[in-house]
Structure 1
Amino acid sequence: MREMLTGGELDVLTGDYLAELTMLILGRDRLKDPGAGYARTFLRQLEECLGLAHERSVKIVTNAGGLNPAGLADAVRQLADRLGIPVRVAHVEGDDLKDRHPDSLAAHAYLGGFGIAECLKGGADVVVTGRVTDAALVTGPAAAHFGWRPTDHDRLAGAVVAGHVLECGTQATGGNYAFFDEGSHDVRRPGFPLAELHEDGSCVITKHPGSGGFVDVGTVTAQLLYETGGARYAGPDVTARLDTVRLTKDGPDRVRIEGVRGEAPPPTLKVGLNRLGGFRNEVVFVLTGLGIEAKAELVKGQLAEALGKVAEARWELVRTDRPDADTEETASALLRLVVRDPRQEAVGRVLSGAAIELALASYPGFHVLAPPGKGSPYGVFEDVYVPYGAVDHVAVLHDGRRIPVAPPQDTLVLEDLTEPPAPAPLPDGPVRRAPLGLLAGARSGDKGGNANVGVWVRTDEEWRWLAHTLTVDRFRELLPETRDLAVSRHVLPNLRALNFVVEGILGAGVAAQHRFDPQAKALGEWLRSRHLDIPEALL
């Protein structure tokens, strides 16, 4: 926060503190303390930086209110009073639908940006929200500044795209970037991105002068593909058409985004439901040297009877060993056991009892990475949809006035677009077996139980090859974990990109820790490491 306030010009500072997992954590906090439920880290940052923001007339807009935006707004007022800084604090409410879903730990609708806009138009210096879309932190200030109306779909769509690029901070400035090791860019401490927004909805993505990392068409493309689905990117303010986005270099560390078209939002609001799914426990057995698979089968057989008493047990053998290794660690494989059950005592008893009691009676060299605990709760995430009328979207101004935010008058049912025509294929020529990542970048992430993998290339010739080569069947072939799951492919020619959505690969969402990489953050890097026949002309 300090870096953004002191590093260069800024009108509005946004902060995105919420993810699906965060809502579950805040829900558990609020069970212990009804006054909790917001991101306390925001208050710690603000204590250091509120004076700077006031001196520089920078507005602050954040969703750090989580489950309790009114509580955080009060806490900010108390902080400002203690520091002697005169600030006007407003908040947005109406997203909390737990009364409708009493079995959930948290149930929150994803609101749009017009509540934020009302707060800013009412004179707020700090605006705190609960669950809004990540992009709403940008559409709200933009609508307030430019006077946009809910029917200004193209302008709002441009702001949504800008907000999507900004929402994950340094992922737009070289963080987590597929080609981080190319060129002379220093990505050890990337600076944060900022968007210069224009009245027509276009923008330039850049960063403060002298900050680390870099901004180019690749880093912006990567973030545009992150955690998206089809070409229609739907939200409560507008549906942005990602297939209309045009990116051009606008100077050093500057990328212009323009041409974004918008459509009316869908007729329903997404609601994220978080509930406790039960308890989980795990233990990792270390298998060293010869007979790795036989050792694994022995311990599995020894635990079979005990594991019949828990609701779910999953084994995974990770072959980190190598033959004739010169260290014990590289001679060892890892056998991971995860158990789940509604009863904490059941998952604790199986691993702290049955598994550890084998220590002197199992495979040679028996040991585990760490002793198992009692078991910890895990969460389940799902999304449902409600009509706009189910939500009372209200802007609560700094003087206590309550401004209702009307739902959109125009809506449009979301439909998948027909896949655009593919470019002409490359002529036949010699090929070489090589990793996909020599040509293509990728970024992947989670949406509930689904994962997306966005793949892009940087030249028209590479795009002619990728569009024809990386079909759904080839994707499943390269990532065998997806073979039995529904996979859809979405084509974005302006970005030279394909976006794949894999349904159900993450089970009940990140909090359920269904697989080794529970948020699918590295699924794209696995894909890039896979080998296939690539034209030598491109290599």
Structure 2
Amino acid sequence: MRALRVGNSSGFYGDRFDAMREMLTGGELDVLTGDYLAELTMLILGRDRLKDPSAGYARTFLRQVEETLGLAHERGVRIVTNAGGLNPAGLADAVRALADRLGIPVRVAHVEGDDLGPRYPGSLTAHAYLGGFGIAACLREGADVVVTGRVTDAALVTGPAAAHFGWGPTEYDRLAGAVVAGHVLECGTQATGGNYAFFGEGDVRRPGFPLAELHADGSSVITKHPGTGGFVDIGTVTAQLLYETGGARYAGPDVTARLDTVRLTQDGPDRVRIDGVRGEAPPPDLKVGRTRIGGFRNEVVFVLTGLDIEAKAELVRGQMAEAFDKSEPEEVRWDLVRTDRGDAGTEETASALLRLVVRDPEQAVVGRALSGAAVELALASYPGFHVLAPPGKGAPYGVFEAAYVPQGEVDHVAVLADGRRVPVPPAIDALGLDVVPQPPLPEPPPAGPVRRAPLGLVAGARSGDKGGDANVGVWVRSEAAWRWLAHTLTVDRFRELIPESGELRVTRHVLPRLRALNFVVEGLLGAGVASQHRFDPQAKALGEWLRSRHLDIPEELYRDLPEGAHRDLPEGLHRDLPDGRSVDRREGPHRDQPEAPHRDLPEAPHPDIPDARPLDTPEDRP
């Protein structure tokens, strides 16, 4: 049977508007998918529905389809999307009305049964993650457009593949191959050079969206339309495979895909073949994503400029503490971000940021805490007092929580274009998710000279969120680098490099076929992205922070670096290696910091000032 060409035109609600047209006009396709849902999106749609019960779906999709439905119909391309969000039936009706107005004869079906709101009182939304067989039922009955609510992201690909190839629910290896392809496609241009650690190796100013050529045995080729931007190679596909995953078992409602069996092969320019994927029966329970309003949040960022940064921060903290005595919020969090430099050439680079975040069940409490107290300090605090923006009344924040229900307790239904309702049975078999034993590590590298440099010189990374947890996938591109990474980047070393993880549970998963390690940090993100627990609430840049940390790297690994890989290294890190490249291994406890600016100053730089404070230096910083 011929291959099935499945493309993607959206990785999130708000992605490139023109992508649907680009994918329909750029080359051959059989199915075009669009992924619009994420944990935060469900909360946003839930708040929309509170204002308007007929809302709850991604309205952007409807505007995109208005411009492209005729194109899709002419080219015989079927559209499958989870843009239905909380109201798939409502979006399906809206698409039918649009098609009638445009005079385009398309059959629109939808999938429902994921909404479990009545089971979870107090939740804003509660939706089970359904699999792909409801989508498959709609396509087998001739649907041209299939709208779903909360399905797994990969289901947008497994459904069309099961319909096209006639796969049954126990063909686990084939289904697992489609799940892996779907996981690569789901985030759009992240598979074609977007958000990629080694982005300088190609032109990623406007990467094209990806597509998969799926085969009957479950293998696939990831590629993109000819002439589009970006690039597809083993690295871009590896990065996306590691994104928002955990261990070797990648569980879903249809199948558990074994990521430790994935084999990647460069199959030509902008073509990566995926094969060898093994599958197992899915777990007996479906994941349920619940969102609720957690309370109210307010924030103010104080700008501290010039000298005595720590003393200025201490002053404003003390002043705000006195104000909080009258009405202290339930949670108060301070973060001092040392963006300042000594002897800076601009005011901005001479300034540090002191961030205050308060939370409380009552909006009035967080409003009074900052709107009054912080503003009243304007003429009565540290020299140079100002804030990035005046605080407001406070805004609600969301909480994401995961729950689980038996597959048989969820009424998964395909609602066909003619109104018929086709029940989708739960998985025939089910298996618990035992932890896969860690595979043996490769032989450690031989001893040899090392140079100190950022990890990212030889390793890529991609990070993301799953509820309150974060994952960081790290991979390398040669066997020599893999032997070094597997023995060097342990959990203890990870904790050293990412101090935030020090008191949290960190699990390391080893994926030798991908030359990759995946670290899961539990609780790093608090109650999830909507709670805005930390500076980077979705841990999107956590991997890049890790790549910027310095390690002792064997000199032999530098010889295989692609041209330009070292261009961002600081001066002095390029001296002794082949082609003039090197890494300077500084000695002493502060070898990664500039020398202290006051080290060579006279002992009393301010002899006429009693008890003169020394200049603020890197050693004084936390």
Q: TM-score range by the shorter chain?
A: over 0.9
Contact 1:18/1:131 (<8 A) preserved: yes
Counterpart residue number, 2:100: 81
Counterpart residue number, 2:290: 273
Counterpart residue number, 1:3: 22
1:63 aligns with 2:82: yes
Q: What displacement does 1:410 show?
A: 0.6
Secondary structure in structure 2 of the residue aligned to 1:189: coil
Distance 1:175 1:20 in 2: 21
Q: What displacement does 1:305 show?
A: 2.8
Structure 1: unaligned runs, 5 residues or longer: none
The amino acid that maps onto 2:45 is L
The amino acid that maps onto 2:164 is H
Contact 1:103/1:275 (<8 A) preserved: yes
Q: What displacement does 1:326 show?
A: 1.1
1:377 aligns with 2:390: no
1:143 aligns with 2:186: no
Distance 1:408 1:339 in 2: 45
Counterpart residue number, 2:613: none
Counterpart residue number, 1:20: 39
- Paired residue for 1:434, among 453, 465, 475? 453
Counterpart residue number, 2:414: 395
Counterpart residue number, 2:277: 260
Counterpart residue number, 2:566: none
Structure 2: unaligned runs, 5 residues or longer: 1-19, 559-622
Contact 1:426/1:465 (<8 A) preserved: yes
The amino acid that maps onto 2:223 is T
The amino acid that maps onto 1:473 is D
Q: What displacement does 1:350 show?
A: 1.1
1:359 aligns with 2:378: yes
Distance 1:292 1:111 in 2: 52
Distance 2:322 2:168 in 1: 64
Secondary structure in structure 2 of the residue aligned to 1:17: coil
1:518 aligns with 2:518: no
**Alignment of structure 1 residues 287-366 onto 2, 5 Å:** 287-308=304-325, 309-366=328-385
- Paired residue for 2:493, among 474, 477, 491? 474
- Paired residue for 1:201, among 218, 236, 243? 218
Secondary structure in structure 2 of the residue aligned to 1:537: helix
**Deviation readout 1:67-94 (Å, 9 max, x if unpaired):** 0000000000011111111110000000
Counterpart residue number, 1:222: 239
Q: What displacement does 1:31 show?
A: 0.5
Secondary structure in structure 2 of the residue aligned to 1:488: strand
**Alignment of structure 1 residues 45-124 onto 2, 5 Å:** 45-124=64-143
Q: What displacement does 1:117 show?
A: 0.2
The amino acid that maps onto 1:263 is E
Contact 1:196/1:205 (<8 A) preserved: yes
Distance 1:244 1:534 in 2: 29
1:425 aligns with 2:438: no
Contact 1:60/1:125 (<8 A) preserved: yes
Q: What displacement does 1:415 show?
A: 1.1
Counterpart residue number, 2:268: 251
The amino acid that maps onto 2:454 is P
**Deviation readout 1:458-498 (Å, 9 max, x if unpaired):** 00000000000000000001100000000000010000000
Secondary structure in structure 1 of the residue aligned to 2:551: strand
Distance 1:461 1:537 in 2: 8
Distance 1:409 1:390 in 2: 14
**Deviation readout 1:115-142 (Å, 9 max, x if unpaired):** 0000000110000000000000000000
**Alignment of structure 1 residues 446-457 onto 2, 5 Å:** 446-457=465-476
Distance 2:309 2:444 in 1: 46
Contact 1:453/1:523 (<8 A) preserved: yes
Contact 1:110/1:132 (<8 A) preserved: yes
Secondary structure in structure 2 of the residue aligned to 1:476: helix
Secondary structure in structure 1 of the residue aligned to 2:556: coil
Contact 1:307/1:313 (<8 A) preserved: no
Please identify runs of 4+ aligned residues in structure 1 that moved more than 3 A: none
Contact 1:96/1:107 (<8 A) preserved: yes
The amino acid that maps onto 2:247 is G
Counterpart residue number, 1:461: 480
Distance 2:139 2:257 in 1: 24
The amino acid that maps onto 1:276 is I
1:503 aligns with 2:508: no
Counterpart residue number, 2:598: none
Distance 1:28 1:70 in 2: 18
Distance 2:322 2:417 in 1: 62
Secondary structure in structure 2 of the residue aligned to 1:181: helix
Q: What displacement does 1:406 show?
A: 0.3
- RMSD (Å) for aligned C-alpha atoms: 0.6
**Deviation readout 1:206-242 (Å, 9 max, x if unpaired):** 0000000000000000000000000000000000000
Counterpart residue number, 1:189: 206
Give aligned pairs, total: 537
Distance 2:501 2:336 in 1: 18
Secondary structure in structure 1 of the residue aligned to 2:211: strand
**Deviation readout 1:299-354 (Å, 9 max, x if unpaired):** 00001033352111100000111001111111110000001011111111111100
Q: What displacement does 1:503 show?
A: 0.0
**Deviation readout 1:99-128 (Å, 9 max, x if unpaired):** 000210000000000000000001100000
Distance 1:406 1:373 in 2: 50
Report the TM-score when normalising by structure 1: 0.99
The amino acid that maps onto 1:361 is A
Distance 1:389 1:168 in 2: 30
Distance 1:416 1:454 in 2: 18
Q: What displacement does 1:409 show?
A: 1.0
Q: What displacement does 1:181 show?
A: 1.2
